[in-house]
Chains A and B, each alone.
Chain A
């Protein structure tokens, strides 16, 4: 039927096509045409499942192409699927036919394959495929290789593989800023979904590693469905990551997403910010403070050691003089002690002698009797007198002893005149002498 042309504008200058017709009418016609097409069953894999209040929306895909699908929630619920079975990658059979929602002035139109019934196909589940691949890589030891790589505490060049326009790029920069790190970032932009992504990401990784300047690589992309993230389950890409000589830190999807790259990378992080922080485990500001503190402690130890060494040397320099002084003092001390001892010894001897003399004299006195002293003196006096009177002694001195011839000593002149005749005894002999009566010559009596 021909659409009714209300107020028609002019067509495009030079176009030979019929119209312009009002679009709404055309949309309705499209809908009708599509609804005429045969109802049939399709087989493919489910992706991007969304549910509104009344309808389920998802895509049905295989390697050649896909159709967007819609299904009334009531119909979906009637299918009685097991919880968790209708997820990305699930292979299903869907019955229905193409439909077109014409939209309106206030709502968008859409083409969809309207599904009236479906069932899970079971075999060929994408997730199961991924799991099988994971087990194969694990058996080859490829899940451990990257983890064993040395990750520098303070890299100076970091490589980042990410989509050029994405938020992941900003998040990586934010993470590096949080570490206070201002080194060198090498960006390797690559598509992060669709069928070009896997080989381009693998190539970027190899090129980064080949420069020899990159110390750690971050692979980052934001959230998405498993379909969007499928590139990161690609076998070739995962093998490339596993065997890369540079450690790779992955942050693909949200924290609930898990792709194969997370298993082969050195570290898997939940966000690009965390991945950047994992790339620089050190907080540079804190590290600078710590290094300065270490420098101070070393300087303190060094100063103390130098001072102590100086003191030791000084002590050693003083030691000989002190040593000699000590010895000298000791010698003086000994000398004094010797002298004192000697003096004490002499005194003792004198005392001893005096004591002995006293003892002896006492003993002598005791032996001699009471008035021994007096008697001795008397005897001594007598002795002296006797000696004085000894005529021999007189004669020896040149005197003569005068005798009367009868043995009586004449001692006076009178006695001599009386005697008339005397004898004179000299030292050598005696002579007789007669006394004459002449008076003594002057001067003599």
Chain B
């Protein structure tokens, strides 16, 4: 029996897109979404789906930026190695 992760369908029947692999991927997709919405060519259904996807991307980007906004953390390499070996990081 395979241990598959399946994305649950949304109410509209369209599968939820996979989470972005990186910050740049997220911003690129976000720009594309906003360009599409600004163009006015998107129908009502598409607009709502794009807005939902866009919100997810915004949350991801905000979280990434928060992760590097809480104060500079400095440590030495040997400390990092010790933490990793201890199972904490």
Contacts and interface: CB of A to CB of B under 8 A. Distances in A.
A181 B74 CA distance: 13
Interface in A174-195: 176, 180-189
Which of A153, A185, A312 has the most CB atoms of chain B within a 10 A radius of its CB? A153
Interface residues of A, number: 39
B68 A183 contact: yes
B67 to A, nearest CB: 5
B48 A305 contact: yes
Nearest to A190: B77
A295 interface: yes
Secondary structure type dominating chain B contacts: helix
Nearest to A309: B44
Contacts of A213: 80, 84, 89
Question: Which interface class (under 10, 10 to 19, 20 to 34, 35 or more) fits B?
Answer: 35 or more
Interface string A285-306: 0011001001101110110011
B52 to A, nearest CB: 8
A108 interface: no
Secondary structure type dominating chain A contacts: helix
Interface in B12-57: 22-24, 27, 30, 33-34, 37-38, 44, 47-48, 50-51, 54-55
A204 B71 CA distance: 25
Contacts of B75: 184-187
A186 B37 contact: no
Which of B38, B50, B54, B80 has the most CB atoms of chain A within a 10 A radius of its CB? B80
Given A176-B72, A308-B44, A309-B44, A298 B77 contact: no
A429 to B, nearest CB: 118
Interface in A52-104: none
Contacts of A312: 44
Interface string B51-73: 10011001001101101111111
Nearest to A182: B72
A156 B38 CA distance: 32
A282 B26 CA distance: 14
Given A183-B73, A188-B77, A294 B34 contact: yes
Interface string A205-228: 001100101000000000000000
Contacts of B58: 291, 294-295, 298
A182 B73 CA distance: 7
A180 B80 CA distance: 23
Contact of A211 (B55, B62, B73, B81): B81
A154 interface: yes
Given A282-B23, A298-B34, A302-B48, 20 more contacts: A152-B23, A153-B27, A156-B68, A181-B72, A182-B69, A182-B70, A185-B72, A187-B76, A188-B77, A211-B80, A213-B84, A288-B62, A291-B58, A298-B37, A298-B58, A301-B37, A301-B47, A301-B50, A305-B44, A306-B48
Interface of B: 22-24, 27, 30, 33-34, 37-38, 44, 47-48, 50-51, 54-55, 58, 61-62, 64-65, 67-77, 80-81, 84, 89
26 contacts: A152-B23, A153-B24, A154-B24, A154-B65, A159-B77, A182-B68, A182-B69, A182-B70, A184-B75, A185-B74, A187-B75, A189-B76, A204-B77, A207-B77, A211-B77, A213-B84, A287-B61, A288-B65, A295-B62, A297-B34, A297-B38, A298-B37, A299-B51, A305-B44, A305-B48, A305-B51
